[in-house]
């Protein structure tokens, strides 16, 4: 991306640098007349069906999100509208890693795939596209209870522990979705990509926090139903943007279950229709279930549980001391005393922060070889060191410029000359020593004076552990980003001619005027694009709504009926299109 465009939207402008890296330009000019026709067809079908089964008033929701039925939305239009309800939108290149996706939600920014599905995937695409992201997610954003849930989910998801297997599965799904959306994709390549996804899913080991949270996200934000088991309504974006599954999901063969914490037990396959869906009675219930799950997560549990999760993840994580000091790095060891961490250690570049802001002089360049420190109370004091007043610290021999010897109840001893005492938020957080030795209860060296100055974190307990650095931008932490790029079609002269035919029909619908030229458009379709059905439907719609050229209309209708009969893959699409010609939606809804 070249210059960052915040669309004059405060939510987008507030995005940190590590999230901006995923943003791509929308390039609105790249959408073809066929793309706009695909959008219009899906949106009209959605309105026709979803006005009865969607949870919220569909058209008012679209309008509040800056969308219309007639054309693909621009990011500026969406940001102008979403800004009024405290949200924003950006375009990205296909799937982005789950942790980044969650964090965007926390910043109240919708992530929208810039591409749009191909005509041959008009009912459903496994790849994220602008129909799914904008027409699926955006209209319900106006519901305050729902958008509060969405942003709260993002803030919790941004702290979830994830594993290397999570990223490998993400890469496999991204690669498969890109392949499936490519025109004339090699069948063998798709088969191998599907096998890779299957293998990854079967070899995930114990699901990480991110994997389990992703299930809750899937069964609510993407595929959620609300209401009662007997009369559910759709609010999940995956259903709202699929003109196939939004209808099939309501059938009895798709099991409807009450939405509870048990939903985390149900994995999902992004490439297939869902065998069961979950129904929540209210959006408040979504928050209640999320709270229940969050209470089991490392960022709330801390302690040994959190430290072990951090070590297992092998990713950059942050441990938070009870003093508020945050230690970020790759954790490799923890000593345990009476069921609690007594000493923690990172390996490689590490950093110290407070309130998610890096402490001056304590970035990854300074702590390039790692960081280690005791945790706990020290002998002779039941009051935590971080809570001692200045006088109490002096009485304990902890004073700048003095030699000190701190003996922890765990048996760890820290001795050296105090160079500096750092306090913040009313707590002592960090003591820096020169000529310092740290030994454990058996006399093993944990820090040697020859290694330089020693920064000792202060805190009785590890109260929280979460994935990622506390100050991501200062840490220069770049979230894992896929190197697999989405496919962008290149059009030959024949397809470009087809685009011109679609554009002529589109222009006539928007500007009015003589209909006589449509006969020539139809002739060109028959001669060079006999497989097309959507442009034929659009011509028929104009002719029948204006009672023009009855012979031509009858010829096109017969062609479409014959195609639906001989090519079953088009039957529902054509039948649904003919239904909308006979039962048009109100004109005021499409502009």
Please indicate, yes or no, if residue 22 is contained in any of the structural domains: yes
pLDDT score at 373: 98
Please indicate, yes or no, if residue 488 is contained in any of the structural domains: no
Judge contact between 307 and 341, C-beta under 8 A: yes
**Which candidate, 129, 128, 83, places its Cα nearest to that of 108?**
83
Q: Is the C-alpha dihedral spanning 542, 545, 547, 553 positive or negative?
A: positive
Judge contact between 95 and 214, C-beta under 8 A: no
CATH number at residue 235: 1.10.800.10
Domain boundary among 291, 316, 345: 291
Judge contact between 405 and 397, C-beta under 8 A: yes
User: Is the model's pLDDT at 376 over the cut of 90?
Assistant: yes
Please indicate, yes or no, if residue 389 is contained in any of the structural domains: yes
Question: Which of 56-70, 103-117, 300-314, 388-402 shows the lowest mean pLDDT across its residues?
Answer: 56-70
pLDDT score at 94: 79
Q: Is 70 annotated as a binding residue?
A: no
Please indicate, yes or no, if residue 555 is contained in any of the structural domains: yes
Do both 76 and 216 map to the same domain? yes
Question: Which of 165-169, 292-296, 477-481, 576-580 shows the lowest mean pLDDT across its residues?
Answer: 477-481
User: Is the model's pLDDT at 400 over the cut of 90?
Assistant: yes
Q: What is the dihedral of CA 242, 247, 250, 252, to 10 degrees?
A: -120
pLDDT score at 47: 83
Do both 279 and 323 map to the same domain? no
User: Is the model's pLDDT at 463 over the cut of 90?
Assistant: yes
Q: Is 30 annotated as a binding residue?
A: no
CATH number at residue 504: 1.20.58
Q: At which residue do the structure tokens 């002592």 appear? A: 428
Separation CA 135–CA 513 (nearest Å) = 31
- Average pLDDT over the chain reads 90
Please indicate, yes or no, if residue 210 is contained in any of the structural domains: yes
Please indicate, yes or no, if residue 433 is contained in any of the structural domains: yes
Q: How far apart, in Å, are the Cα atoms of 19 and each of 103, 153, 316? A: 8, 17, 16
Q: Print the domain residue range for 306.
A: 298-475
Do both 413 and 464 map to the same domain? yes
Residue 366, SS3 per DSSP: coil
Separation CA 73–CA 130 (nearest Å) = 9
pLDDT score at 322: 98
Residue 549, SS3 per DSSP: coil
Domain boundary among 443, 475, 507: 475
Do both 512 and 442 map to the same domain? no
pLDDT digits (tens, 9 = 90+) for 100-157: 888 999 999 999 988 898 888 887 666 778 988 888 888 888 888 999 999 999 999 9
Do both 244 and 381 map to the same domain? no
**Which candidate, 479, 487, 483, 488, places its Cα nearest to that of 101?**
479
Helix (H) / strand (E) containing 357: strand 357-358
pLDDT score at 226: 96
Q: Is 147 annotated as a binding residue?
A: no
Do both 263 and 216 map to the same domain? yes
pTM recorded for the entire structure: 0.85
Please indicate, yes or no, if residue 483 is contained in any of the structural domains: no
Do both 286 and 303 map to the same domain? no
pLDDT digits (tens, 9 = 90+) for 289-340: 999 999 999 999 999 999 999 998 888 999 999 999 999 999 999 999 999 9
Name the domain count of the chain.
3
Do both 36 and 180 map to the same domain? yes
Do both 153 and 258 map to the same domain? yes
User: Is the model's pLDDT at 481 over the cut of 80?
Assistant: no
DSSP structure class, residue 325: E
Separation CA 120–CA 534 (nearest Å) = 11
Domain boundary among 270, 291, 312: 291
Please indicate, yes or no, if residue 418 is contained in any of the structural domains: yes
Do both 49 and 140 map to the same domain? yes
User: Is the model's pLDDT at 52 over the cut of 90?
Assistant: no
pLDDT score at 485: 60
Do both 273 and 346 map to the same domain? no
Q: What is the dihedral of CA 412, 416, 419, 425, to 10 degrees?
A: 20
What is the maximum alpha-carbon separation in the chain? 102
- For range 9-28, the mean pLDDT: 93
The two tokens of residue 360 are: 């001056």
Do both 432 and 530 map to the same domain? no
């Amino acid at each position: 991306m070249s210059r960052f465009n915040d669309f004059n939207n405060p939510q987008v402008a507030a995005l940190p640098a590590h999230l901006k890296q995923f943003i791509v330009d929308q390039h609105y000019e790249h959408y073809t007349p066929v793309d706009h026709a695909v959008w219009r067809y899906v949106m009209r079908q959605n309105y026709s069906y979803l006005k009865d089964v969607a949870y919220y008033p569909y058209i008012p929701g679209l309008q509040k999100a800056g969308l219309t039925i007639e054309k693909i939305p621009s990011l500026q239009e969406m940001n102008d509208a979403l800004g009024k309800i405290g949200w924003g939108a950006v375009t990205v290149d296909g799937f982005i890693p789950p942790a980044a996706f969650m964090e965007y939600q926390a910043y109240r920014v919708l992530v929208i795939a810039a591409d749009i599905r191909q005509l041959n995937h008009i009912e459903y695409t496994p790849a994220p596209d602008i129909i799914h992201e904008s027409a699926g997610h955006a209209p319900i954003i106006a519901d305050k209870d729902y958008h509060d849930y969405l942003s709260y989910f993002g803030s919790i998801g941004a702290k979830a522990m994830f594993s290397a297997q999570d990223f490998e599965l993400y890469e496999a799904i991204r690669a498969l979705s890109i392949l499936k959306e490519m025109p004339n994709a090699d069948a063998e390549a798709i088969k191998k990509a599907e096998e890779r996804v299957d293998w990854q899913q079967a070899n995930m080991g114990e699901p990480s926090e991110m994997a389990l949270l992703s299930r809750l996200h899937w069964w609510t934000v993407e595929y959620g139903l609300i209401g009662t088991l007997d009369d559910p309504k759709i609010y999940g974006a995956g259903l709202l943007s699929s003109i196939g599954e939004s209808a099939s999901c309501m059938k009895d063969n798709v099991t409807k279950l009450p939405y509870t914490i048990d939903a985390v037990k149900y994995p999902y396959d992004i490439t297939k229709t869902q065998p069961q869906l979950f129904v929540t009675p209210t959006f408040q219930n979504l928050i209640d279930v999320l709270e229940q799950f969050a209470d089991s997560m490392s960022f709330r549990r801390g302690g040994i549980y959190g430290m072990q999760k951090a070590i297992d993840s092998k990713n950059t994580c942050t441990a938070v001391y009870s003093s508020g000091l945050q230690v970020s790095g790759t954790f490799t060891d923890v000593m345990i005393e009476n069921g609690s961490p007594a000493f923690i250690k990172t390996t490689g570049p590490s950093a110290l922060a407070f309130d998610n802001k890096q402490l001056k002089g304590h970035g990854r360049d300074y702590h390039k070889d790692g960081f280690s420190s005791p945790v706990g109370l020290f002998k002779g004091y039941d009051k935590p060191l971080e809570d001692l007043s200045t006088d109490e610290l002096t009485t304990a021999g902890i004073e700048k410029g003095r030699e000190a010897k701190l003996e922890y109840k765990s048996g760890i001893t820290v001795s050296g000359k105090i160079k500096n005492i750092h306090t913040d938020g009313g707590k002592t957080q960090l003591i820096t020593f020169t000529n310092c030795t740290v030994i454990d209860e058996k006399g093993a060296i944990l820090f040697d004076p020859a290694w330089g100055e020693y920064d000792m974190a202060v805190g009785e307990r590890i109260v929280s552990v979460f994935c990622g650095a506390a100050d991501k931008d200062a840490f220069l932490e770049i979230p894992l980003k896929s190197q697999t790029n989405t496919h962008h079609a290149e059009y030959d002269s024949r397809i470009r001619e087809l685009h011109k035919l679609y554009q002529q029909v589109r222009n006539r619908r928007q500007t009015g005027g003589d209909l006589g030229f449509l006969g020539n458009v139809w002739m060109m379709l028959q001669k060079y694009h006999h497989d097309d059905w959507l442009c034929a439907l659009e011509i028929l719609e104009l002719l029948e709504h204006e009672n023009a050229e009855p012979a031509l209309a009858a010829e096109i209708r017969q062609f479409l009926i014959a195609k639906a009969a001989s090519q079953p893959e088009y039957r529902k699409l054509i039948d649904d299109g003919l239904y909308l010609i006979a039962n048009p939606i109100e004109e005021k809804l499409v502009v």
